[in-house]
Amino acid sequence: YSEEEHFMNRKLPIVRVKCSNGYIVLNLQEEPELRHYFTSFLKWQPFVSGPSNTHVINWEQWYLPNEETHEQSDEDEEKEEDKTEQGTSYIISPDCSVCDEEHYRQIHGTNTVYMMTGTMFGCFWRFLGEHNFDEDLESQQCYFNPSYDQDSRSRLNEMGELTPFQLTDFSSADNWDYSGVCAFNPRQSDFPIMSQTHDMCTVDFSGENEANMEMGYHLKPSIGIDGKHCVCVKPSKQRNFHVSTADLDDAALRTKQFSQQQQQEDYKQKLKEEFEKQDIMNIPREKITYLYQSNFEHGTYRIRESGIYIVMENIVFDFNAGDIWNDPLSTDSWWPRADQQQIYPGAGAYRDAYFLGFWAGITIETDNVILDLGGHSLAMSDAFYYQQRWFTTIALQSQYFLPGQGPGFFGATPSFASHVIIRNGILGQSSHHNIHGHYNHDVIVENIHCRDFETHGIQFNGFDGITLRNIEIGPSSTKVFLRGSFGHARNLLPRLQQIANAMEEDDEYFHLTPEDKKIKFDGRKKAMSMQDIHDEMKLQLESVFRFVMTGEEPEFVDGSDDDFDGRMTNKKWLKILETFYNPSGLPHGAGMYGIFLNTVGASVLTYNLQTSTYSNNAKLENINIHHLQHSMIEFIRMGVPNSGSIYLNALHGCLDARDLLSNIEDIDTDDYVPRYKGNVITDATIAMEYFSNNWDILQASLIWHDRLFPWAFGEDLTALNDFNIGCNGDAQVHAAKGLTGIRVDGVNGLSMKDITIKDVTEVTPPGTDLCGRYSSFERDCVGKCGGHIRQKEPMQVGFSGHNLQGICLNAAKNVKMGTTNIHNLQSLYGLTYGISIWPSVDIEFEDKVYISNLFAGAHYDEIVERDEDGEIVYDDKLDEENYPNRVPEVCAIRLVDEYFSGTSNKVYKSTVRFADGHNQNDVVISNLDGYKTCFVDRSSDNSQPRKYSMLGSWNGFDSDFQGIGKDGIFMQEMKALQDGNEGHFGNTRAWIHDGNVKTIVVGILVFVLIICAIFARRVCYKSVDGNTADKEEEMKRSKSMRLQVFDGRIYVLPQRRTCSNHESTPLLQ
């Protein structure tokens, strides 16, 4: 410690403590002044505090009065038999009332303390992203599963499958080792700190030989601050201190004031509970606030008082607007200023709610609120839209992410809104959501039009009681001209300047020479300082920002071949566009949704096969989702074999392997030697880790120093010999999921009626095969290792960024589906499902469902390989399948009623029912085309009929139906019928279901079929010696009768063309 930090040299306040069994109870709720007895003290959740990230320490180092345990000297050893002098003793007190050395949770004896797991403070921990295992924020219950990452290094794919078990008083130390996010994990007070570097915090060592989670720094000291989870300490020696009577009097007065304050808080809580019982919507009708443009000039409008809020005019969010021509990337332009820290926590810093900028237009942070838009619109300005890449129009919480989630620390004390009504208006341009909420109860959203968003129209996580009524969603944004890398670089820029300033001003850098303050990357002509890298990034960002705003390209100058010389050349401009520009203008993240109803947490990595933490009770009424478009930009992550660790920037952004490696195409060749390529983002990330160990600045950055530094600097090209690359993810390392109209994942109790999803297009191009022709990811492999480390079968097989689903159901119980209309859904290169019923779903169809005009793989013919006869060449000839871009499958309703997972060794089941008075004929299906139907095994049994849906009745094709082209099943069926060849296509009688044909048409059709059958039977019983010419004429007549049109709709009338002794098959099914 510094002299100021040393316990004996600090003037500490007199504190009021309770004693129990010889121990002091450190109860921060009853005595907040105890915080001065620690090296640093920050709140990490509403109920837990710990040291700051600048103090990489254990409990004994954190608690200043600690007495160290040490071995006795030889001189002392002669006097006493015991060689060890006991230091301060530590035990935990879960209820803060008593210190009991015999309590079951004292699993480390008198060295037992609490520590929080890594994901709570920005470091790695098991179950990363597995929110089923997150600590319950209300009860503070923690969960574990002992099988996680055991017996196999490739078990990361079990995400969303394992069952969480509660950690209790009787849990073992091994059980606590396999906890999820947990604020109070019992550990030893002298927990070993293996390294002080930031790299050792974000790296996953779980797959390393002779390594475990206690390598690095994946746990931080913690203590409860809400009257629970206290720690008891007992000094080993008596000490005397001199204090003044004035200090004692001040302490006594503080104690009295605290007691009064506690009584007042208890009374307030009692009143609040009574009000909630009396009136579920206790909105003060006399409290009306009118909102104008002037309320939104300088930042997010935060609603923190109950009442009615009415928008009086169209609002354009352009917070703290800057000048696009004069330093548009300054920390004061479209960004919370440091002097706004009080109202926007995190402004000018790297933690708390606003450290990534203004993330919402309006936040509702309290209960009992009506927000009436009055028919007006809320939308981001174009400049703000491009500057702020994480944004929600209306948020029903005080921070974007929950504690322990997201690319950083967003706040310890989130507040969530309940009893809220949002109504009557248009929510426009937003760089993420239009509406987003966590832990919301009793919320009604009605008469709202969501449009011009990038990721979600509406999303709710961990809710109880959500009603969406009269909602229109679409079109989605078509102005997304900046890639995710722009948002990362925009947030890295001030960090680079802070490090550059520190290198000129701070004592820790004084010993460095000017040359020591520069780094030279492999293949570059000159070394660069941190200021050089900052200035280069600023130049590139400003030029592309002005380009998307005005359409004007920068002025070019003649320059050297060095792309990082601070000048704008034509060659550099092309690389800037490659790094930051998205020419399609379409949303390009891993997934996009009209509505997403979700379990607790973000669920950005994968789907759940099961969950134990359901959201509850949602109603969707009169929902119209239309004109959504999505075109994912795929990033190739680069990682370390036998580990979950991948190279990341400070915002948890993927360092694309194509930016790191100059010769990525040569991977897996015998003489392959990786060489550094680099761009301004990879340069900046490596330089930040090289010159700084400031954990607040580095945050999620992950660079294996001993591997990447010598390789990137050209000092040792063999340092990076072992690595792997994986595909099927986006800039934020989210697993690809494609485009979904409505996704429901982990919800109990959902009612849907009057749902329309139409005119939706998945534009995402084919996934790259640079990672191999994969179906999943191989964690242990070296080189090209497949897809996303968390992608989940059966929902994600191969590349899944071009999947299109109208309604997607996962781990959903008690789902009621009323009138639904899904039509005109098209994926250019991937699968298209009208409704997906994945594992662990319980659904009942209560009314009519119409599904039509679904197209899968409309442009797939552009990428297929063909033989000399023009037939498609398949990677997997047995299943007629290609990877990673699977043969596009079309299916009206894709049902997985039973699925066995080898990773969890469990069978997951789904059940489908029809309400009384309804049956499969109420699900009406027509006009589907793709490269194959949802009978996925038909290639192995050509005698089976096609299945255009796994539920419902097939109603044929419109007479003017065009399909996707010559390779589509529609054209192949037509061709087969004209050729009279049924062998490959099986029994085409499956095209007809009588439940949806008008009665009179059915009667005529049956009559014609009977006549044809009688005639065919007579022909069959003629002598086999009959005239050959007669047989040929009969064949012609048979072909001509196959295609019939009734009421503008095509029906196929298959006939048996050969006679046999087998029993004839009915022609109408």
User: Which residue numbers in the chain have pLDDT < 70?
Assistant: 1-10, 69-85, 129, 148-161, 195-196, 204-217, 271-286, 559-566, 604, 644, 903, 935-945, 980-1069
Task: Assess whether the previous peptide bond of 945 is cis (omega < 30° from 0).
Answer: no
pLDDT for the residue numbered 915: 96
SS3 (DSSP) at 973: helix
* Angle, CA of 69, 71 and 74, to the nearest 5°: 150
Q: Residue 216: its pLDDT value, please? A: 55
Determine how many CB atoms are found less than 10 A away from the CB of residue 1002.
16
Give the span between the Cα atoms of 485 and 651, in whole angstroms.
Answer: 10
- Tell me if 353 sits within 8 A of 400, measured CB to CB: yes
pLDDT of residue 1007: 55
The residues that bridge with 739 in the sheet, in sequence order, are 592, 804
> Other CB atoms closer than 10 Å to residue 293's CB: what's the count?
14
- The predicted structure's pLDDT at residue 1066: 31
Spatial separation of the C-alpha atoms in residues 359 and 413, rounded to whole Å: 17
The SS3 of residue 907 is strand
Q: Are 531 and 543 in contact, with CB atoms under 8 Å apart?
A: no
Q: Which two tokens stand for residue 684?
A: 């900046």
Smallest CA-to-CA distance from 628 within 820, 818, 438, 434 is with 434
CA 528 to CA 565: how far, in whole Å? 9
What 3-state DSSP class applies to 801?
A: coil
Q: Find the angle CA(796)-CA(801)-CA(806) to the nearest 5 degrees.
A: 80
Residue 341 CB-density burial (10 A; 0-12 exposed, 13-18 middle, 19+ buried): middle
What does the block give as tokens for 322? 């800057």
Q: What is the DSSP letter of 364?
A: E
The pLDDT, as a whole number, for residue 1067 is: 27
Q: Please, what sign has the CA dihedral across residues 245, 250, 253, 258?
A: negative
Cα-only R_g, the chain: 33
706: left (phi over 0), alpha (psi -120 to 50) or beta: alpha
Helices (H) and strands (E) in the chain, counts: 16, 51
Both tokens assigned to 37 = 């007895």
Instruction: Say if residues 18 and 26 touch (Cβ distance below 8 Å).
Output: no
CA distance 151 to 200: 24
The angle at the Cα of 112, spanning 106 to 118, to the nearest 5 degrees, equals: 115
Q: How far apart are CA 31 and CA 19, in angstroms?
A: 13
CB 890 within 8 A of CB 854: yes
Beta-carbon contacts of 163 under 8 Å, excluding residues fewer than 6 positions away, are 145, 610, 612
Give the rounded distance of the alpha carbon of 139 from its chain centre.
Answer: 25
Strand 420-427, strand 441-450: pairing? parallel
Answer for the pair 534, 685: CB distance below 8 angstroms, yes or no: no
How far apart CA 770 and CA 621 sit, in angstroms, is 44
Using DSSP's 3-state secondary structure scheme, residue 184 falls into: coil
Q: Could you give the 3-state DSSP secondary structure of residue 271?
A: helix
Region of 227 (left: φ > 0; alpha: ψ -120 to 50; beta: rest) is: left
DSSP 280-331: TT---TT-EEEE-GGGGSSS-EEE-S-EEEEE-S-EEE-TT--BTTB-TTST
Q: Is 95 exposed, middle or buried (0-12, 13-18, 19+ CB in 10 A)?
A: exposed
What values do phi and psi take at 1028, rounded to 5? Answer: -60, -40
Please give the helix or strand (H or E) that residue 423 lies within, else none.
strand 420-427
pLDDT at position 987 is: 37
Alpha-carbon distance of 54 to 242, in angstroms, equals 32
CA dist., res. 540 & res. 550, Å (int): 16
SS3 257: helix
Q: Give Cα 43 distance to the centre of its chain.
A: 25
- pLDDT number for residue 1060: 33
Whose tokens are 């294996």? That residue is 704
